[in-house]
Amino acid sequence: MPNEPSRREFFTKSMLASAAAGLTLGAQRLAAAQDADDKPLPTDVSLVDSNEKLAQGKIAGMSVSRILLGGNLLTHYTHSRDLKYVYNLCAHYNTEEKIIETMALSEKHGVNTLVVHTVPAILDTLKKYRRDRGGKIQWIICPTAPAEGDFSEYTKQVEGLAEMGTNAVYLWGVTADKLVWKGDIDAIAKAVQIAKDHGMPSGVGAHDLKVIEACEKNKIPADFYIKTFHHHNYPSGPKPGDLKEPYSEIPAYWCRSPEDTIKVMSDVQKPWIAFKIMAAGAIPPKDALQYAFDNGADHCLMGMFDFEIAEDVKIAKEVLANTNRKRPWRG
């Protein structure tokens, strides 16, 4: 037939159509990732509207949003299981300027606090954001110096955090886990007191529930806990027979026994910030937040890229408006 296109013409037109569709889809995704009001982010974040109504609670006198910005993506320390390229990808995406944008967007959507550990580069960025950009986001920071011996390194790091205006400090969960396994509860108490001596609220982090149990049993005067919490209903979650000791050798989950965590935390009267609620990206945000808030968490720590913040805050508001929890709000 004279008007029938040749095979080459057919493929050329198909490829052009596919490319156009791809560009259209890419533009749609980019537009969806932009802020709802479609306005550029101000250089001076003091101009950013941070009055969106995201519920807050109290932690040692601090007003803290119900969801907090997690620091792992900002420090590029991603828990990506065996996907080795993800760390490098995150490092290339989350440049210093992108980290500053992420914190500004967090504030704009009502997330008023971040949690991070003492990576020197991120501490410099935090100071720059607050000093040069007018950032107001609060900092809860965990020292990574050894909490042992004469505590000289740990104390020096806490002093530095106090001098830079850190709002609260907590004992790193990695450290607290090891101290409990060693039976050195006195070291946990000393670490908590050092932060208090420097005028900051002081908490304890934990992956292992034994840390919380030991702190409660020994009446450690922590102001709050940061404890892992997520269910196991995801593909790489632990299966029967996976729950072995030591806890630190299990790579694909961070809350060994969610049922026991619910039970223990139900009697804890201190504020509880739940973290790893999405099992490092394996559980969708709505599922993770609903499970955490329904089962007693007072606040949830979430690692978020800049383009996820608006949607995650929206989800959090919906979950908080419909949570069915038994544990009273402690924070």
So what's the pLDDT on residue 42?
Answer: 44
Residue from 257, 310, 288 nearest 52 by CA = 310
So what's the pLDDT on residue 245?
Answer: 61
So what's the pLDDT on residue 247?
Answer: 55
Q: Quick count: other Cβ atoms within 10 Å of Cβ 199?
A: 7
pLDDT, tens digit (0-9, with 9 covering 90-100), for 1-24: 444 444 334 334 443 444 444 434
Tokens linked to 26: 């890419």
Q: How many CA atoms lie within 13 A of 250 on its CB side?
A: 21
In one letter, which amino acid is 289?
A: L
So what's the pLDDT on residue 219?
Answer: 97
Residue from 204, 212, 231 nearest 288 by CA = 231
So what's the pLDDT on residue 14?
Answer: 42
So what's the pLDDT on residue 84?
Answer: 77
| 34-321 maps to CATH 3.40.50.720 | no
Residue ranges of the chain with per-residue pLDDT less than 70 = 1-52, 76-77, 80-82, 241-253
So what's the pLDDT on residue 246?
Answer: 56
So what's the pLDDT on residue 40?
Answer: 43
In one letter, which amino acid is 252?
A: A
Residue from 7, 27, 8, 29 nearest 19 by CA = 27
Q: Note the pTM of the prediction, 2 decimals.
A: 0.83
Burial pattern 218-239, b for ≥16 Cβ within 10 A else e, equals: eebebbbbbbbbbbbebeebbe
